Amino acid sequence: MIYPTCVRTAILLFFFAGFARAETDAYARQRAAMVAEIEANMAQTAGLLGRKGLSAEVADALRTVPRHQFVEEEMQPYAYQNRPLPIGHGQTISQPYIVAVMTELLDAKPGDKVLEIGTGSAYQAAVLGAIGAEVFTIEIVEPLAAAAHERIAKLGLANIHTRTGDGYYGWPEAAPFDAVLVTAAASHIPPPLIKQLKPGGRMLIPVGDRFNVQQLVLVEKDPDQKVKTRQLLPVSFVPLTGTHQ
């Protein structure tokens, strides 16, 4: 049987639409599975991190943000695995569990202003944006910054503002911030960033190499402007066997 051209076209369109829908559904399912895995892990570490577990807001954000669109095409099959992925230029996109933990610890609320130093792929910024925070993110590696800017524009994430350059002096025009995330390696905590943190605000610094976060340093500024840090492990681990001493 020979179909007229318009019928063939309709069949093809229907097929591709179905394929696209199936693909979307498949990613959504993978995202849901990823969030379930994160929830299970967070249940174990909640006590150590001072949380009750993965909050509904962060879980929703992780279910919403299409992580596969933040990695290169060849990495997309692994996008929803609970592992870090290379994004080129010697940088990585963090393990989703770590993204979840960091987002929880930053405790950002809708409307909060968050500064991020080290945009990377902008996935972390997108998750914070999905919670409703207004995110100001700075990346020093130019090709990464350009790609992140383009990605954010394409996804229509209006509450994320990008900038290319040195993050040491923060974003004074938008300061003060409710939360600051410093994902770029730093030999010390830049004093200007502490100044741009609101009293009662939180700054988080993941410490480790590109593929493994060894500890999280949470800097808290109390209403009297005094600063203290808390050193947290993202894993449920105590260093001594036997009775918890």
Q: List residues near other proteins by CB under 8 A.
A: 37, 40-41, 44-45, 48, 82-84, 86, 89-90, 95, 97-98, 140-142, 165-166, 168, 185, 187-191, 194, 207-215, 217, 219, 227-242, 245
Q: Which is nearer to other proteins, 154 or 188 (CB)?
A: 188
Distance CA 71, CA 85 (A): 8
For 237, the token pair is: 């681990």
Q: Considering the complex, what minimum distance in angstroms separates the CB of residue 56 from other proteins?
A: 21
Of 55, 94, 121, 187, which one is the catalytic site residue? Answer: 94
Name the nearest CA neighbour of 236 among 35, 51, 36, 33. Answer: 51
Kindly provide the b/e burial profile for residues 141-165, where b requires at least 16 CB atoms within 10 angstroms of the residue's own CB.
beebbebbbebbeebebebbbbbbe
Report, in Å, the least distance between residue 186 CB and other proteins.
Answer: 8
94 carries an active-site annotation: yes
Residue 50 class from Cβ within 10 Å (0-12 exposed, 13-18 middle, 19+ buried)? exposed
| CA–CA distance, 203 with 180 (Å, rounded to integer) | 4
Q: Contact at 8 Å (CB) between 130 and 80?
A: no
Nearer to other proteins, 55 or 82 (CB): 82
Q: Which is nearer to other proteins, 66 or 195 (CB)?
A: 195
Q: Minimal distance in Å, beta carbon 201 to other proteins?
A: 14
How many residues belong to the chain?
245
- Give the span between the Cα atoms of 203 and 194, in whole angstroms: 8
For other proteins, give the closer residue by CB, 155 or 230: 230
Nearer to other proteins by C-beta: 87 or 152?
87
Containing 27, the helix (H) or strand (E) segment is helix 5-49
Sign of the alpha-carbon torsion through 228, 233, 234, 237 = negative
CB of 102 to other proteins, least distance (A): 11
In the complex, minimum distance from the CB of residue 182 to other proteins, in angstroms, rounded to a whole number: 12
Hey, which residues are catalytic here?
A: 94
